[in-house]
Amino acid sequence: LKVLITGAGGYIGSVLQAVLTQRPEVAGQRVDAIALVDRVLPGAAGPRRVAIEGDLTDSAVLERIADFRPDTTFHLAGVPGGASEADYLVGRRTNLDATLALFEQLAQQRRDADRAPVVVYASTIAVYGTRLPPVVKQETPLQPPLTYGAHKRVCEILLADFSRRNELDGRTLRLPGIVARRSAGPGLTSAFMSDVLHALADGVPFEAPVSEEATAWWMSARRCAENLVHAAGMDLTGADPGRAWPMPVLRLSMRDIVNTCAEAFGPDRKSLVAYRPIESVEAVFGRYPVLDDAPSRALGLLDDGTPLALVLRALGREA
Amino acid sequence: LKVLITGAGGYIGSVLQAVLTQRPEVAGQRVDAIALVDRVLPGAAGPRRVAIEGDLTDSAVLERIADFRPDTTFHLAGVPGGASEADYLVGRRTNLDATLALFEQLAQQRRDADRAPVVVYASTIAVYGTRLPPVVKQETPLQPPLTYGAHKRVCEILLADFSRRNELDGRTLRLPGIVARRSAGPGLTSAFMSDVLHALADGVPFEAPVSEEATAWWMSARRCAENLVHAAGMDLTGADPGRAWPMPVLRLSMRDIVNTCAEAFGPDRKSLVAYRPIESVEAVFGRYPVLDDAPSRALGLLDDGTPLALVLRALGREA
């Protein structure tokens, strides 16, 4: 089986690479080769690895993907929400144009293949919006509050359509806040969710841009990567033709997270946190309601189990 | 007020032109100039008329639109469902690429304008899909069964996002089966809905590709055009940020339509109809459930009132 990962040099891409190195199996088949696509690919060399350095918006990159002919693609590349909102064109070129171009390129491959190429697409819970009912269900109307979420939603629809046409076999997973990357840099408003874990593990003070009660959906990068691999092999017989599911999540408040860090790293950790809520951050990342993720669990997708397991796995300290 | 109509040479575009000629007023303002865009524009000359012959996929056409600087745009241009399904790229270029390019061009104009340009976008009930609940509501999940509907849904989302950014003031109306155009030609599977009205008015035999019980959503082109004009002036304070509404409809079976034609043109009309249902046509155009169009009516949009008024208005025989 030939596997392609876009955004392979990013945080989730790196963890996905590690997962596939430890266990090179996708959908019950042995992985024979992995092509990695990103602008920069440090340490991408290795057996059964093909490094495609460049931008997905570059047609030469698409041609190299076509030459590789992946059976399964993990499409992770994207410009994050803050950056997309600040510069419409930058977001559109990657999150919309390049994504559609990739789908079309892979669909071309269908013509002389036995089955449609599998595409696991990393969408986002940012498609839901901020005016949510107390329980978010599969049929809850989507109202993306940022251009980032709008473009992700658009590509979910396009992938479902390619799947209906039997030109691709699409599986969209909507990613929650994935932790814990180091120094995510500008453009990623949710970075505080990772920062708090590193700060409290390291025993340094942390200023939270949300309140103690701020409730969000959490998942470790490791569990996220495992879910992406699982998604490639899910049996979709009778499943929703929209082919988009949220990842199952742990719904935790900042207080829950801080208490869990105190449990893991020592009770002194609580005094390191100062709450300085910023209303715009709280509105987007602090009021997530209950997620009815039963359809996702029915497909075999998993959350991290417990807050403690989430924190340890997020920091790579899993037993 | 300067008004732009894309697809102006088409069936609905022509009727919209006629409506604006009879009453040149949009959103309470006098229409000073109308720019018409289409590949072919017969009889487009006239006072306060600017004819832009060409394809929306041509950047020169977009430049002429930019020079005109419309305050209100009626975006009707599109490749119909059958043709889009048969040739993916032909559909994509107009229904997706050119529509987004038009939105972006108009959004540019926003920079040095007092208010965002109004865009009334003609979407379609083909966004709903064929697996519908007994009553279709505003929050019913959309599952476009054709690429045509998928691309229309995508552009609804993009227009809502431009509206959220306050770069456009978008209003999407989802058009039902609009009657009664003459000889729509290939690519328009719903043509039979128009054909039956002309046949029975003219007293010629008609073969229906659906059953007597086939139920669809009906509207005359005249009422459709009036709704489009009304939409440009709707007060959207507190309205759904998705900015997309179905037109209110008359839900009628083929039997209802034939009986109404008998009432209008003579009882002999009934014997002119032979039913030869084609399953694929019946599935898409014969099983429309009840539409809860209360949100659309609350905004002042209207249906044709009665089946008889629909038939007469559709054939231009209105008193």
pLDDT tens digits for A115-133? 999 999 999 999 998 888 9
Mean pLDDT of all residues in A270-290: 92
- pLDDT tier at B306 (50, 70, 90 boundaries)? very high
- pLDDT tier at B186 (50, 70, 90 boundaries)? low
* Structure tokens, B87: 């040739």
Mean pLDDT of all residues in B65-69: 96
* Structure tokens, A248: 């199952």
Contact A141 B145 (CB under 8 A): no
pLDDT at A185: 61
Mean pLDDT of all residues in B166-187: 87
ipTM above 0.90, yes or no: yes
* A160 interaction partners in chain B (CB closer than 8 Å): 150
Question: How many Å apart are CA B122 and CA B176, to the nearest integer?
Answer: 10
Question: How many Å apart are CA A40 and CA B242, to the nearest integer?
Answer: 38
Question: How many Å apart are CA A32 and CA A53, to the nearest integer?
Answer: 20
Q: Give the containing element (helix H, strand E) for B20.
A: helix B11-22
Mean pLDDT of all residues in A292-299: 96
- pLDDT tier at B184 (50, 70, 90 boundaries)? low
Task: Check residue B121 and give left, alpha or beta (phi > 0: left; psi -120 to 50: alpha).
Answer: beta
Measured between CB atoms, which of B88, B138, B161 is closest to A147?
A: B161
B45 has a pLDDT exceeding 80: no
DSSP A130-196: SS--SEE-TTSPP--SSHHHHHHHHHHHHHHHHHHTTS-EEEEEEE-EEE--S---TT-TTHHHHHH
pLDDT at B305: 97
Whole-number average pLDDT of chain A = 94
Report H helices in A2-120: 11-22, 59-68, 81-86, 88-91, 99-109
pLDDT at B190: 81
Angle B58-B64-B69 (CA atoms, 0-180°, nearest 5)? 130
Question: How many Å apart are CA A293 and CA A289, to the nearest integer?
Answer: 12
CB A128 within 8 A of CB A291: no
* B138 interaction partners in chain A (CB closer than 8 Å): 141
Q: How far are the Cα atoms of A32, A47, A64 from residue A43, in angstroms, in the given order?
A: 19, 12, 19
Residue B161 touches partner A, C-beta closer than 8 Å: yes
pLDDT at B234: 97
- pLDDT tier at A46 (50, 70, 90 boundaries)? confident
* Structure tokens, A162: 């390619």
In chain B, the residue whose alpha carbon lies closest to the alpha carbon of A159 is B150
pLDDT at B187: 58
Measured between CB atoms, which of A139, A157, A165 is closest to B154?
A: A157
Q: How far is A206 from chain B (nearest CA, A)?
A: 33
Peptide bond connecting B160 to the previous residue in cis, omega within 30 degrees of 0: no
A184 has a pLDDT exceeding 70: no
Window B:190-249, CB contacts with A under 8 Å: 241-242
- pLDDT tier at A111 (50, 70, 90 boundaries)? confident
Q: In this structure, are strands A29-30 and A25-26 parallel, antiparallel, or unpaired?
A: antiparallel
Higher pLDDT, A182 or A22: A22
- Cα end-to-end distance, chain A, whole Å: 30
Angle A83-A85-A91 (CA atoms, 0-180°, nearest 5)? 65
Measured between CB atoms, which of A138, A144, A157 is closest to B161?
A: A144
Backbone angles phi and psi of B125, in degrees to 5: -70, -5
Largest CA distance in chain B: 62
Question: How many Å apart are CA A69 and CA A117, to the nearest integer?
Answer: 9
pLDDT at B283: 86
pLDDT at B182: 82
Q: How far is A103 from chain B (nearest CA, A)?
A: 13
CA dihedral B78, B81, B82, B86 (to 10 degrees): 80
- pLDDT tier at A187 (50, 70, 90 boundaries)? low
Lowest mean pLDDT among A35-44, A234-243, B27-36, B57-66: A35-44
Radius of gyration of chain B (CA): 19
- pLDDT tier at A100 (50, 70, 90 boundaries)? very high
Q: Token pair 């009453």 is at which residue?
A: B23
Among B85, B218, B209, which Cα is nearest to B145's? B85
* Structure tokens, A310: 């989430």
CB A288 within 8 A of CB A217: yes
A45 has a pLDDT exceeding 90: no
* A242 interaction partners in chain B (CB closer than 8 Å): 141, 143
Residue A114 touches partner B, C-beta closer than 8 Å: no
B32 has a pLDDT exceeding 90: yes
Question: How many Å apart are CA B9 and CA B267, to the nearest integer?
Answer: 36
Per-residue pLDDT tens for A58-69?
999 999 999 999
Contact A157 B158 (CB under 8 A): no
pLDDT at A82: 85
pLDDT at A44: 67
Per-residue pLDDT tens for B245-265?
999 999 999 999 999 999 999
Contact A139 B141 (CB under 8 A): yes
Question: How many Å apart are CA B258 and CA B276, to the nearest integer?
Answer: 15
- pLDDT tier at B123 (50, 70, 90 boundaries)? very high
Burial of A22 (0-12, 13-18, 19+ CB in 10 A): exposed
Backbone angles phi and psi of B225, in degrees to 5: -65, -40
pLDDT at A177: 87
Q: How far is B245 from chain A (nearest CA, A)?
A: 14
pLDDT at B241: 93
Among B61, B91, B74, which Cα is nearest to B27's? B74
Window B:129-158, CB contacts with A under 8 Å: 138-139, 141, 143-145, 147, 150, 153-154, 157-158
Q: How far is B208 from chain A (nearest CA, A)?
A: 28
Backbone CA torsion sign across A232, A235, A240, A241: positive
pLDDT at B318: 75
Residue B79 carries which side chain, given as an amino acid letter? V
Per-residue pLDDT tens for B210-250?
999 999 999 999 999 999 999 999 999 989 999 999 999 99
Mean pLDDT of all residues in B11-27: 95
* A152 interaction partners in chain B (CB closer than 8 Å): none
Contact A157 B150 (CB under 8 A): yes
Question: How many Å apart are CA B257 and CA A102, to the nearest integer?
Answer: 46
- The segment with the largest mean pLDDT, out of A277-281, A298-302, B44-48, is A298-302
Per-residue pLDDT tens for B89-121?
999 999 999 999 999 999 999 887 889 999 999
Radius of gyration of chain A (CA): 19
- pLDDT tier at A90 (50, 70, 90 boundaries)? very high
- pLDDT tier at B53 (50, 70, 90 boundaries)? very high
The residues of A annotated as belonging to the active site are 148
| 3-state SS, residue A53 | strand
Among B181, B187, B172, which Cα is nearest to B75's? B172
* Structure tokens, A135: 């329980």
Question: How many Å apart are CA B110 and CA B113, to the nearest integer?
Answer: 5
Mean pLDDT of all residues in B38-61: 89
Q: Token pair 């029915």 is at which residue?
A: A298
Name the packing angle between helices B147-164 and A147-164 (round to 10°): 180
| 3-state SS, residue B214 | coil
Measured between CB atoms, which of A139, A143, A154 is closest to B154?
A: A154
Contact A157 B143 (CB under 8 A): no
Question: How many Å apart are CA A157 and CA A92, to the nearest integer?
Answer: 16
* B147 interaction partners in chain A (CB closer than 8 Å): 161, 165
Window A:78-97, CB contacts with B under 8 Å: 88
Per-residue pLDDT tens for B77-94?
999 888 899 999 999 999
pLDDT at B258: 98
Measured between CB atoms, which of A88, A153, A241 is closest to B143?
A: A241
In chain B, the residue whose alpha carbon lies closest to the alpha carbon of A149 is B161
Among B48, B26, B49, B24, which Cα is nearest to B38's? B49
Residue A123: partners with Cβ closer than 8 Å, 6 or more residues away = A152, A153, A155, A156, A172, A173, A174, A175, A244
Question: How many Å apart are CA A176 and CA A301, to the nearest integer?
Answer: 13
Q: How far is A145 from chain B (nearest CA, A)?
A: 8
DSSP A236-254: -TT--TT-EEEPP-EEEEH
Q: Provide the percentage of residues in chain A whose pLDDT is more than 70.
A: 97
CB B254 within 8 A of CB B213: yes
Contact A150 B144 (CB under 8 A): no
B46 has a pLDDT exceeding 90: no
B55 has a pLDDT exceeding 60: yes
* Structure tokens, B175: 């058009």
The residues of B annotated as belonging to the active site are 148
- pLDDT tier at A314 (50, 70, 90 boundaries)? very high
A273 has a pLDDT exceeding 80: yes
